[in-house]
Amino acid sequence: MSSSTVRTLLCIIGIAVSLYAYDVETKAEHAKETGEEYEAMCDLSPKVSCTAVFTSEYGKGFGLIQKVVGDDHWLVQPNSVYGLLFYAAMLVIGLVGGTEDLTFLMSIVSCCGSAYLAYILVYVLEDTCIVCISMYIINGSLLITNYLALPAKASSADKKAN
């Protein structure tokens, strides 16, 4: 299977998981506003709860953007929205030839974000989020796929010899 095909499949899975995360967060917020109970499929116990993670202060704007621009700014969106934008952009850019360096760079940035959010998940929220971990795996897989898709760079000695 080509790296382009693998990247496309990973992006489609990433979009689907991001849509699920967005659905969970919006339903949880609606339930909170109306005083109803909501439990997502990914809520297995009090310490294995994607709803608790998505509705935490780190569930929007990575817990960082609102500190810079304020809570009411349009940039303060659920992390799942940023995931949707990332995977859609990666999908489209990956279909254009000659963008291997850009998709690899995008993967590095997404893995840095994943590492930050994994730290928050484990050490700050002290929770386990199956959806979040799935995203980390998708991002790591995209990094590997995009790395393997990089064109082989001839060494400068090889170029001088030719």
Domains of the chain: 3-150 (1.20.1440.130)
What is the model's pLDDT at position 161? 55
Residue type for 25, please? Answer: E
Residue 45 and residue 39 in contact, taking contact as beta carbons nearer than 8 Å: no
Q: What are the tens digits of pLDDT across the range 105-150?
A: 999 999 999 999 999 999 999 999 999 999 999 999 999 999 999 9
- For all residues of the chain together, what is the average pLDDT? 91
The 3-class secondary structure across the chain, one letter per residue, is CCHHHHHHHHHHHHHHHHHHHHHHHHHHHHHHHHCCCCCCCCCCECCECHHHHHCCCCCEHHHCHHHHHCCCCCCCCEHHHHHHHHHHHHHHHHHCCCCHHHHHHHHHHHHHHHHHHHHHHHHHCCCECHHHHHHHHHHHHHHHHHHHCCCCCCCHHHHHHC
What is the model's pLDDT at position 98? 85
What is the model's pLDDT at position 54? 93
Of 132, 123, 115, the closest CA to residue 55 belongs to 132
Q: What are the tens digits of pLDDT across the range 72-104?
A: 888 889 999 999 999 999 999 999 888 999 999
Q: What are the tens digits of pLDDT across the range 22-54?
A: 999 999 999 989 989 888 999 999 899 999 999
Q: What pTM did the predictor assign?
A: 0.88
Percent of the chain with pLDDT over 90: 71
CA–CA dist 19, 15 (Å, integer) = 6
Of 106, 65, 111, the closest CA to residue 86 belongs to 106
CA–CA dist 3, 141 (Å, integer) = 11
